[in-house]
A and B are shown apart, each in its own frame.
Chain A
């Protein structure tokens, strides 16, 4: 079973949760990142994620292995979307199961924080104004 996946279609959260079930676990923590209708004062209509999948999957699995080793949780999985997304869709889901809740919360937080900082994934926001911009990249291109 792969721990980290990229998908171009809606994430089935019920199926995802099944993968984390374990009789030794008394705690399950799940984080979902949703498409939000605003960012930095601008109204967002939809998003597009570009993913460099070969490296995102490799690095994503590395992050999950780190979380399991560091916090001693029983199972951890994550799925990130690619492509166009509408408001309130789940862009990312992280699930962690463990005997007790403390390490499950910590591991879940670690996975989403590291994923945001390390995975080769880029988000383009489409605004009500008709403009579209890559997030975090206001200075990536010099004006022509």
Chain B
């Protein structure tokens, strides 16, 4: 299936792009992130990273659907 992936802050700088549309067989947000770390050698795996799907915070175990927009957030640092 086809999904839209967006990268933020340190992740965007690591992959060198803001977003991409990819064809994937990943069933969950976590599987998709693993796939993306494989595609982009600069993207590190960080345990406190967060994920959102279609503008809602999501769990890494969340299942994905065709045309979902998946947002990968590096560790946050507001305040």
**Is B a genuine binding partner of A?**
yes
**Chain A residues engaging chain B, CB cutoff 8 angstroms:** 33, 49-52, 54-56, 58-59, 80, 91-92, 112, 115-124, 134-137, 139-142, 144
Separation of A134 and B52 alpha carbons in the complex (Å): 20
Chain B: residues with Cβ within 8 Å of the partner, total of 26
Contact of A137 with B75 at beta-carbon distance under 8 Å, contacts A142-B41, A144-B41, A144-B42 already known: yes
Report the minimum CB–CB distance from B4 to chain A (whole Å). Answer: 15
Mostly, the A contact residues are: mixed
Residues 1-51 of B contacting A (Cβ, < 8 Å): 8-11, 13-14, 41-44, 46, 48-50
Chain A residues positioned under 8 Å from B41 (CB to CB): 142, 144
Chain A residues positioned under 8 Å from B71 (CB to CB): 52, 55, 120
A137 touches B79 (CB 8 A): no
Chain B residues positioned under 8 Å from A121 (CB to CB): 76-79
A139 touches B77 (CB 8 A): no
Chain A residues positioned under 8 Å from B56 (CB to CB): 55, 58
**Chain B residues engaging chain A, CB cutoff 8 angstroms:** 8-11, 13-14, 41-44, 46, 48-50, 52, 55-57, 71, 73-79
B8 touches A49 (CB 8 A): no
Name the 3 nearest CB pairs between A and B, nearest first: A121-B78, A141-B14, A122-B9
Most chain B Cβ neighbours within 10 Å, of A33, A119, A137: A137
Separation of A121 and B79 alpha carbons in the complex (Å): 8
Contact sample, A vs B, 13 pairs, CB 8 Å cutoff: A52-B73, A56-B78, A91-B79, A115-B79, A116-B77, A116-B79, A120-B8, A120-B71, A134-B9, A137-B10, A141-B42, A142-B14, A142-B42
